[in-house]
Amino acid sequence: MGGKWSRVGSLSGVVFVALVVASNVAAGGIPDPSASPSKVIAFYTAHQTGQQVSAVLTAAAVVVGLYFFWRLRNYLHRADDGEQLATLGFVGAVLFGIGGCINAGLQWSLAAVPDHLTPAAAQALNVLFKDDLATGLYNAGLAALMLFYGAAMLRSKRMPAWLGWVSIVLGAAALAGPIVFLVFTATAPWGIVVSILLYRRDRAAAPSIPEAATAH
């Protein structure tokens, strides 16, 4: 049973991506940073439920994402050559998750009682949310997790070499601020591929049950 649930847990990367996509869909179009305070308050009043759902989904994505990245860290950690690199990759995932929590908090603050916010507070929160107060955490976290996990994949040889190189390229691109959004978008297919590979390898490594045992 433990092996079965372990293999199911390997697919947490797919769930992580699904939660992030669902959060973005629920959020819809956020007012621009230059939007007037009245427009900001009107938007969050009209879309209060959707914004709160989006914030909750983001928080859930952080929890599932940390589990997924921890599983990847443990998988790469089994090879001595990838031990320290895999751990540093998970540290990057933690930074990335903190950035997500900050954004979820700002979004919830805007949507909780939008009609009670002063115009200045509404505009300030919207600027921080839309312009991404957590940009530094996102950039650093995404760069670290991609660079170090990519290096761990190459050193440990427990993942395809091409995936390791793709991860390193994405990590380097994440350090170039203006295109970090493209790297964030690329994280979705990357997470799905890694998750499926973890599942397949966990399944292949699972001990087979003797036919005699299954007959009873």
Put residue 208 in one of left, alpha, beta given phi > 0 → left and psi -120 to 50 → alpha: beta
pLDDT of residue 19: 96
pLDDT of residue 209: 43
pLDDT of residue 216: 43
Question: CA separation (Å) from 137 to 61, 167, 180, 208?
Answer: 16, 18, 12, 43
DSSP type of residue 29 = -
Token code pair at residue 58 = 């983001």
Token code pair at residue 205 = 């490594």
Name residues of the chain where pLDDT drops below 50.
1-2, 208-216
pLDDT of residue 14: 95
pLDDT of residue 215: 44
Task: For residue 15, give its domain range.
Answer: 2-205
pLDDT of residue 152: 95
Rounded CA separation 5/84 (Å): 27
Q: Is residue 56 part of a domain?
A: yes
Q: Is residue 39 part of a domain?
A: yes
pLDDT of residue 68: 96
Rounded CA separation 166/162 (Å): 6
Q: Is residue 51 part of a domain?
A: yes
3 state SS of 30: coil
Q: Is residue 210 part of a domain?
A: no
Q: Is residue 214 part of a domain?
A: no
Q: Is residue 38 part of a domain?
A: yes
Q: Is residue 184 part of a domain?
A: yes
Query: 190 near 150, Cβ under 8 Å?
Result: no
Task: Write the pLDDT tens digit of every residue in 77-104.
Answer: 876 667 889 999 999 999 999 999 998 9
Domain count, the chain: 1
Rounded CA separation 181/108 (Å): 22
Token code pair at residue 112 = 């909780």
pLDDT of residue 72: 94
